[in-house]
Structure formats: structure tokens, C-alpha cells
Amino acid sequence: MIKIKDISKSFDDKVVLESISGEFQKGKCNLIIGSSGTGKSVLLKCIVGLIAVDGGKVFYDMRNFSDADHDMKAEIRREIGMLFQGGALFDSKTVEKNVMFPLDILTKMKPDEKIDRVNFCLKRVGLENVGKKMPSEISGGMKKRVGIARAIVNNPAYLFCDEPNSGLDPQTSILIDELIQDITYELNTTTIVVTHDMNSVMGMGDNIMYLYKGHKLWEGSKDDVTHSGVRELDDFVFANKVMSALRDKL
């Protein structure tokens, strides 16, 4: 479980996050949703420690990450798997080497053990026999799967996914969402997904935090998101034409 308390962040005069608190549950897909530019990615980066917060604290299973010393931070970081927006694969490395990268830098595993673990993870994401290919030789959906394999290769307790569906067609997006969901339940990870895709919200939103202009306006689950009573959230949810057509039937 990850807990955040009063997270605030500004860039120069621009306030991007204002006193955001909340909990992200273990073994669940926790979504941070909201319109473009509302602070979702910045919040995720604050939680991971890629951006320094102006105020507030982040706790990983009761461990105070914000005030932790170097060793404790390194220990927590080793427990994090991250699927970056756009995949962020190394173009000059094979798929196998991309997935192995966290094991190379974070573990002392033997070469054979690393290969076994990489092959296991590639198989888990439905990608057998592509280990020797270069990223340029595989599709966008396959690249996301490689990114997921890399994110889970070191058996993370925490899994972060920033816009996992960006650039994918709707069907592939659903498959990627389902994969993230299945892995979350299998590995019992505390998973945080940043998205503005309503299909993802309705498919995988166990817990949802809705951000609006740097404020948390609502939290709940996919079962409640369509009748929150929050006007800004309604505007976001029903901006989608399919959702809008369904609104009258709800």
C-alpha cells in the first residue's frame, strides 16, 4: 500500500499539485485520472521520487520515503517496476537486453538466472521468440508488452504505469489493460496507472483518484464513477461519445 499526504508541487509560479492526499491499495489497480495537463504524471513522478515535492510525504507500506536516507530510498526503488509513457525502450538494445536491464543494474544474479527470468517474463506477457529482435522490428503493442516485462522482471511490489495505452488501437489497449490487471492480481502489486482513457477507467478502475487542475476532486471505484455527483468528473467521464450515449440508460 502506498499512502500520500499533502503532496504539493509548483513549477516557478505555476501550482501543479495542491495538497493531494490518498491511499493506493495493494493487489489493486489504482488509477489517477483527469484531463490533459491536470498533474497526473507529475503526481506519479512525485510518488516515485523522480520529481522533488515542495511539500508533503509519501509512504511505501508505512516506510517514509520522503524522509528516508539514501539506503532506504535505494531499497524502496528496487521494489518498484515502472512502465514509462511511450515505452522508453533502449533502441540500441535487443528486446532481451531491454528486459534484462533492471536485473543487470539492481541484482547480482548469474547470467543463466537472468536469461531464465527474462524468458519467463517475456512468456508471461505473450512474447516468446522475440528476445533477439530490436525494438524497431516490433509493433507498438509489442513494445508495451516488452515494457511490462521489464517492469515486472525484478518482481516488484509496486508497479507504476504512465499512460500505458498511449498510441495503441482500442483493442490492443484493452489487452494491455487486462495484462496489467492480471499481473497486479497475480503478483499482488500496489499498481498505480495514470490514464485519461475511459475504457481503462471502466475496465480496471478498482480505486480511482480524479484530479482536476491540481486538486483531488473525487475518489471511488469504477462502479461509482458514472454517478459521482461531481460536475467536473461528469464532464470528463461523459466527454466520451460512447459513455455519453450510455448516460441516458444509466
Judge whether 29 and 206 are in contact, CB under 8 Å. Answer: yes
Span of 21-29, 37-45, 132-140, 216-224 interacting with ligand ATP by CB under 6 A: 37-45
Q: Of the candidates 38, 154, 189, 200, which one interacts with ligand ATP according to CB under 6 A?
A: 38
Grid cell, residue 246, equals 450510455
Q: Are 152 and 183 in contact (CB under 8 A)?
A: yes
Q: In the bound complex, what is the minimum distance in angstroms from residue 116's beta carbon to ligand ATP?
A: 36
**Among the listed residues 36, 129, 136, 171, the single contact to ligand ATP using CB under 6 A:** 36
Minimum Å gap between C-beta 52 and ligand ATP is: 11
231 phi and psi angles, rounded to 5 deg: -60, -45
216 binds ligand ATP (CB under 6 A): no
Binding of ligand ATP at residue 16 (CB under 6 A)? yes
To which residue does cell 521489464 refer? 150
Q: How many residues does the chain have?
A: 250
Nearest CB to ligand ATP, comparing residues 18 and 61 = 18
Instruction: Examine residue 40 and tell whether it contacts ligand ATP (CB under 6 A).
Output: yes
Of 30-38, 63-71, 140-148, 238-246: span binding ligand ATP (CB under 6 A): 30-38
- Using CB under 6 A as the binding criterion, the count of chain residues that bind ligand ATP stands at 11
Q: Which of 24, 39, 165, 201 binds ligand ATP (CB under 6 A)?
A: 39
Q: Provide the CA 231 distance to its chain's centre, in angstroms.
A: 26
Neighbours of 144 (CB within 10 A): 27
Give the interface segment with ligand ATP, choosing from 34-42, 55-63, 125-133, 170-178 (CB under 6 A): 34-42
> Which among 29-37, 119-127, 197-205, 222-230 is the span making contact with ligand ATP, rule CB under 6 A?
29-37
164 contributes a contact to ligand ATP by CB under 6 A = no
Which listed range, 39-47, 90-98, 143-151, 179-187, lies at the site for ligand ATP (CB under 6 A)? Answer: 39-47
Interface of this chain with ligand ATP, residues 139 to 158, rule: CB under 6 A: none
Q: List the interface residues with ligand ATP, window 174-213 (CB under 6 A).
A: 196
Q: Which of 8, 21, 41, 64 binds ligand ATP (CB under 6 A)?
A: 41
d(CA 160, CA 190): 8
Interacting residues with ligand ATP (CB under 6 A): 11, 16, 34, 36-42, 196
